[in-house]
Amino acid sequence: MRKLLVSTVLMLSITTILFAQGTMVKPYTMYQNEMIKPKIGQEAAFEKAVMAHIAKFHTADPYKARLSRLDMGMGSDGWYMFSMGPTNYTALDGQPNGNNAAHDDDWNKNIAPLVSEYGETTLWRLNEDISFTPANYMPEKVDVWQIKVKPGMRYKFEELCKKVSKIYADKKYPFSFRVFYNDLFAQSSYNAAIVFSFNKWADLDLDMAYKADYEAVYGAGSWDNFWEDWRSCVDKTDEVIRSFVK
């Protein structure tokens, strides 16, 4: 009984300390992503309604939003993503959804009737230390690698990402290499993602000479070693290409 009491007091003390230190959290970048599937044949009307909604209620941080269509990969069977951010947990307390009657009324009247299904909502936090974001970042499209990092191997994953982001920064590539972590526990799904930006499909035909750039910094054969190390720390990777609706 005494051990249980001591354990309880200790846990309460730790919880108090964590919340007391909440004001000291380093600023961070996080996005709230919600999956939405419009009714078949209503895609154009759905896009128009959501873009009008964004123009009314989601034009400024921390509630700025963008709508994207899943073009390739998992979810390309009609799904869209409504992404709000950059934001943070404090801002979520005052988000328009549930706190702004006009916002909710607009969604319920003009968008909800066009929706077939709502999917999951997730939170993704950017790790800026191992990422590269080009200037004036506002891509037309993104190629997203959804990743499941093996347990205990995040350190190795981050070592690899840091090497890649250095090449992007040194060579001043016009495309992003942004590494995000799922901010919710997700043992059965993806716990990381890498977002590569581009503006038109033709960008994917560009010869970036990336292997040569990588090996110029890390040595001959380092590119093959990179992928060997990747397989040692990554359980699976799925690729999704999204286009932002204008």
Alpha-carbon distance 16 to 4, whole Å? 18
Encode pLDDT of 109-158 as tens digits. 999 999 999 999 999 999 999 999 999 999 999 999 999 999 999 999 99
Identify the domain containing residue 94 by its residue range. Answer: 30-125
Place of tokens 């993704």: 124
* Beta-strand relationship, 192-198 and 178-182: antiparallel
Nearest by Cα to 33 from 118, 140, 120: 120
* Beta-strand relationship, 234-244 and 30-38: unpaired
Helix (H, G, I), strand (E, B), or coil: what is residue 201?
Answer: helix
- On whether residue 18 sits in a domain, the answer given is no
Q: Which residue has the higher pLDDT, 9 or 197?
A: 197
Tokens, residue 218: 């890390």
Helix (H, G, I), strand (E, B), or coil: what is residue 16?
Answer: helix
What's 210's domain CATH number? 3.30.70.100
Domain C-terminal end among 109, 125, 141: 125
86 preceded by a cis bond (ω within 30 of 0): yes
Answer yes or no: do 142 and 215 share one domain. Answer: yes
Supply the mean pLDDT for the chain: 91
Is the pLDDT confidence value at 237 over 50?
Answer: yes
Answer yes or no: do 70 and 113 share one domain. Answer: yes
- Work out the pLDDT band at 54, boundaries 50, 70, 90: very high
In degrees rounded to 5, what are phi and psi of residue 196?
-105, 125
- On whether residue 16 sits in a domain, the answer given is no
Domain C-terminal end among 125, 142, 173: 125
Place of tokens 């979810």: 75
Place of tokens 């004001």: 23
| C-alpha distances out from residue 37 to 43, 70, 71, 243, Å | 9, 10, 13, 15
- On whether residue 7 sits in a domain, the answer given is no
